[in-house]
Structure 1
Amino acid sequence: MRTIDSDACVASMKIMASGDLGELARVVHPEAVNREAKDEPLDCRGRGPAAFAATARWLRSAFADLDFDIHDVATDGDLVVVHCTMSGRQTGTFLAYDERGEVAQAFPSRGRTMAITQTHWFRLRDGQVVEHWANRDDLGMASQLGWVPPTPGYLWRMVRARRSARRQQARSS
């Protein structure tokens, strides 16, 4: 069994958190796909560094001080698994999208911080990320950020934020 270098995987996560997105082309293969992009904007669902950069912009639009603290990295052939803690402070509205790419949910910022464990799975080709998927603690994040259980006032803010995001999306289409 051939062992591969996991540096591209960790680098892709650090680059996405830092915002230096021009560096993604160095570590993300032109045919790379993010299997987690189904709830993200349509431009995140493409292939290659541009789609990964779109995911980074989407995350960074809602979270300041975004960071991935790497705990463990394991490799098996062309597969790399990264166990980490993602942390940040919500400063913008977090938007989730439906299968058509339309805004499905909007979670306005309450200014809170979160730190959740995640496991990211990467497949590499030619030393670059070619596939990504993850296991995340979305309920833990929602609890830490005050999204659940929602208060009546927060539910109203969610409705207003979703309407606003949908209007903005319609104007830019």
Structure 2
Amino acid sequence: MASASTPTRTPGAAELVARRYPEEIATEGKLDLIDEICTEDVLDHSPLGEIKGHEEQKAQIRMLRDAFGDFSATVEDVVTEGDMVAMRVTLRGMHKGEFMGAEPTGNTFEVSNMVFTRVEDGMIAERWVIPDMMGMLTQLGIVELPSM
């Protein structure tokens, strides 16, 4: 039985720039990259609130990396339509610093995160970040699910 060949997919410019945020900024901590790949008025919508501009973006990434010293964001799947890039990202980390007012638990987490990125003139202009916060807070031991 012959196996079907999977066609090689070449990522477009919008996908390449969108991937840099989770892969290089969030995972590797390259905060200065925000200045290079995001518009000055970049806007993020997430459960942690709306953050606008380079400095607020950097502050949020610093907070995440301080709370989770080994924080990583792995891009699993990408779908691009025009200037919009949808990514399924896996977030991982160990709770080593304060997060949302909770003292470190030492627990680890691994959750899914959906990120929709709007690219404008080759730069990230807006992102909708939708992590599994309940899964994360439960795995960290910050929230306990009610019994069924």
Question: Does residue 1:25 correspond to 2:31, yes or no?
Answer: no
Q: Which of 50, 58, 82 matches 1:53?
A: 58
1:137, distance to aligned residue in structure 2 (A): 0.8
Q: For this pair of structures, how many residues does the alignment match?
A: 133
- The percent of aligned pairs where both chains have the same amino acid is 26
1:50, distance to aligned residue in structure 2 (A): 2.1
Task: Give yes or no for contact 1:4–1:77 (8 Å, CA) kept in 2.
Answer: no
The corresponding residue for 1:168 is none
Question: Equivalences for 1:1-173 in 2 at 5 Å?
Answer: 4-14=13-23, 15-36=25-46, 39=48, 45-47=51-53, 49-95=54-100, 106-149=101-144
For the aligned residue pairs, the C-alpha RMSD in angstroms reads: 1.8
Structure 1 SS opposite 2:14: coil
Structure with the largest fraction of helix: 1
Gaps of 5+ in 2: 1-11
Distance between the aligned counterparts of 2:81 and 2:44, measured in 1?
20
The structure 1 segments of at least 4 consecutive aligned residues displaced by more than 3 Å after TM superposition are none
The Cα offsets for residues 26-57 of structure 1, whole Å up to 9 and x where unpaired, read as 21111211112x635xxx7232x222211101
Task: Give yes or no for contact 2:26–2:73 (8 Å, CA) kept in 1.
Answer: no
Task: Give yes or no for contact 2:109–2:140 (8 Å, CA) kept in 1.
Answer: yes
Distance between the aligned counterparts of 1:141 and 1:149, measured in 2?
11
1:4, distance to aligned residue in structure 2 (A): 4.8
Structure 1 SS opposite 2:36: helix
Task: Give yes or no for contact 2:92–2:108 (8 Å, CA) kept in 1.
Answer: yes
Gaps of 5+ in 1: 96-105, 151-173
Task: Give yes or no for contact 1:119–1:136 (8 Å, CA) kept in 2.
Answer: yes
1:124, distance to aligned residue in structure 2 (A): 0.4
Distance between the aligned counterparts of 2:106 and 2:122, measured in 1?
38
